[in-house]
Structure 1
């Protein structure tokens, strides 16, 4: 069997399409998060999505419709905790994520049969992505990408010198809120691709890979997007041929590209 054989199946086509868009989105956003030392927020919000998805399944509702508003609310709560409660961002992330996991576990223990569905969200199953989820992923991915491009200059300034950006009139508080909101949406979208447990890898690895070899920010963004899309397409293809879990294979593809780039950068750049 070759790749064309698998491409005859609609569910494979959906996986390639949605995976490519979500990968590009994760790479764009991940670069800002890595440079601003906010990488952990993706991991924290992925834990929040666990509790939100568990709640959706418990109530018999479509999980993503429950997860998106709840994860957005959690991102705002993390910001407010950081600003008002005099604590560092990682502490706020830890509090919110641990409460969400605890809530998800309690809901799972009270459930009557949705534990198997919840397990699939933990480790991802992009091959099971529905047509509805593809449309949702494409629309939200394009909307978030457009917003990033529209706010590119403000995001760029706030990323490299937040104090200077504030002095020049950029509303850094609003930018921070937008960045965490976009991260919340991206995390929910990436659940189907690599799963709740592996989302942070899709946000972080393409960005840190690009930063090893890029000579400028725009170049880093293009390289990060390329790495993310290649890792998703390559990982998904390998998982089809070797019958491996798609989410884990995508993350391993990312890791291989990162290690290869690290070695090449050390000896040849």
Structure 2
């Protein structure tokens, strides 16, 4: 198996896939803890459906680069989700459901009406559940992912204390002069960037797994915010790397394989947390 891996690593597309997968997993895990604690973890699911709808529109318009439309539309919808979620008449979970289902339905409708592909079902399934595009990345796409990942990490590190404040007690943060709405907006925009990057890796319907599983797994063992963040990042990177390597060796879908590894990791952490809790008692 080791010889086979070394053979595959001779090819640039394998190295590109591993780099991009690890960066996306790392960025997702950083924001996942905040989203889970704020009970807004399904914003990833909602935005991924929006990205699918935008991709359908970009395909219909025959744009040379889908990113030109998908990225700004997803960011705008992230802002709308934040604003609508603060509305007393439309709660956050309802806003996510409303926008995500609408975008998914419209995207699929457009692809049916204006499809130029003979394999519409295959195209839709590969977009929703992940495709092999992660294995056909160009050097330019890899550098774009690196640049956006560096931006996401820098924003998180620079605003760490503010993000911590709005995560645990938004009302108190506002009372002490922290612009909670502004930092919530930053979080929404950054997660939108990560979602767009992750579409090619795990597919629209599986993106939430990269956000939720690392955070929930880490919370089974660690209690402090900093410890959970660090453990979540390590968990996510290790699972993504293992999932990509297994996918390459076994020929399985990349996204589904990573999510399966995440589920296995969560079960291990859950058991470890239960054992440690029993010992502590």
TM over 0.5: yes
In structure 2, C-alpha distance between the alignment counterparts of 1:64 and 1:193, rounded to whole Å? 15
In structure 2, C-alpha distance between the alignment counterparts of 1:67 and 1:82, rounded to whole Å? 22
Residue 14 of structure 1 corresponds to which residue in structure 2?
16
2:44 corresponds, among 31, 42, 45, to 42
Residue 146 of structure 2 corresponds to which residue in structure 1?
138
Residue 175 of structure 2 corresponds to which residue in structure 1?
167
1:244 aligns with 2:252: yes
Offset, 1:118 = 4.3
Q: Deviations over 1:67-111 (max 9, x none)?
A: 110011111122222334721011111111121112201211122
Residue 58 of structure 1 corresponds to which residue in structure 2?
60
Distance 1:129 1:118, change over 3 A: farther
In structure 1, C-alpha distance between the alignment counterparts of 2:226 and 2:4, rounded to whole Å? 36
1:81 aligns with 2:84: yes
Offset, 1:268 = 2.9
1:107 corresponds, among 105, 110, 118, to 110
User: What is the DSSP-based 3-state SS (H/G/I as helix, E as strand, rest coil) of the residue aligned with 1:37?
Assistant: coil
1:72 aligns with 2:75: yes
Distance 1:132 1:175, change over 3 A: same
Residue 124 of structure 1 corresponds to which residue in structure 2?
130
After superposing the two structures, state which structure 1 stretch, 76-85 or 26-35, moved more.
Answer: 76-85
After superposing the two structures, state which structure 1 stretch, 33-42 or 126-135, moved more.
Answer: 126-135
Q: How many residues are matched?
A: 269
In structure 1, C-alpha distance between the alignment counterparts of 2:225 and 2:264, rounded to whole Å? 23
Gaps in structure 1 of 5+ consecutive residues: none
In structure 2, C-alpha distance between the alignment counterparts of 1:197 and 1:134, rounded to whole Å? 23
**Contact 1:48 1:96 (8 Å CA) reproduced:** yes
Residue 5 of structure 2 corresponds to which residue in structure 1?
3
Residue 269 of structure 2 corresponds to which residue in structure 1?
261
Offset, 1:132 = 2.4
In structure 2, C-alpha distance between the alignment counterparts of 1:33 and 1:80, rounded to whole Å? 16
5 Å-filtered alignment, 1:23-38, equals 23-38=25-40
TM-score normalised per structure 1: 0.96
**Contact 1:123 1:247 (8 Å CA) reproduced:** yes
5 Å-filtered alignment, 1:191-202, equals 191-202=199-210
**Contact 1:20 1:232 (8 Å CA) reproduced:** yes
User: What is the DSSP-based 3-state SS (H/G/I as helix, E as strand, rest coil) of the residue aligned with 1:39?
Assistant: coil
**Contact 1:54 1:118 (8 Å CA) reproduced:** no
User: What is the DSSP-based 3-state SS (H/G/I as helix, E as strand, rest coil) of the residue aligned with 1:244?
Assistant: coil
In structure 1, C-alpha distance between the alignment counterparts of 2:68 and 2:126, rounded to whole Å? 17
In structure 1, C-alpha distance between the alignment counterparts of 2:88 and 2:79, rounded to whole Å? 13
Residue 227 of structure 2 corresponds to which residue in structure 1?
219
In structure 1, C-alpha distance between the alignment counterparts of 2:249 and 2:100, rounded to whole Å? 36
Offset, 1:233 = 0.5
